[in-house]
């Protein structure tokens, strides 16, 4: 399944908010450089969906705040 995420890097507090079915707003403390924010978002999604980070793939939005991740369907 595909998950749409609005990412806000370099935030003072981390938060994970569900905006709708398979739509999330995630604020992370990591900056948007050297792929640090994307890695942290993958960690948070893996925790939320109870799967490993290796099974979550960034499909679209590598350098954009609006991203699409692929998460295994059997979750």
Task: Judge whether residue 15 has pLDDT over 70.
Answer: yes
Give residue 75's pLDDT: 47
Give residue 73's pLDDT: 85
Give the up-direction half-sphere exposure of residue 57: CA atoms within 13 A in the CB hemisphere: 7
Tell me, which fold does domain 2-70 have in CATH? Conserved Hypothetical Protein Mth637; Chain: A; (3.30.1200)
How far is 59 from 31, CA to CA, in rounded Å? 20
pTM: 0.92
Closest CA to 38 of 23, 18, 53: 53
Find tokens 């806000």 and name the residue.
8
Distance of alpha carbon 69 from the chain centroid: 7
pLDDT band at 21 (very low <50, low <70, confident <90, very high): very high
pLDDT tens per residue across span 34-74 = 999 999 999 999 999 999 999 999 999 999 999 999 999 87
N- to C-terminal Cα separation, the chain: 9
């Amino acid at each position: 399944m595909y998950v749409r995420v609005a990412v806000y890097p370099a935030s003072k507090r981390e938060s994970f908010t569900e905006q709708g079915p398979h739509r999330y707003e995630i604020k992370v403390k990591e900056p948007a450089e050297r792929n640090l924010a994307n890695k942290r978002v993958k960690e948070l999604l893996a925790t939320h969906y109870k799967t490993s980070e290796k099974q979550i793939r960034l499909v679209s939005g590598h350098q954009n705040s609006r991203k699409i991740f692929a998460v295994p369907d059997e979750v």
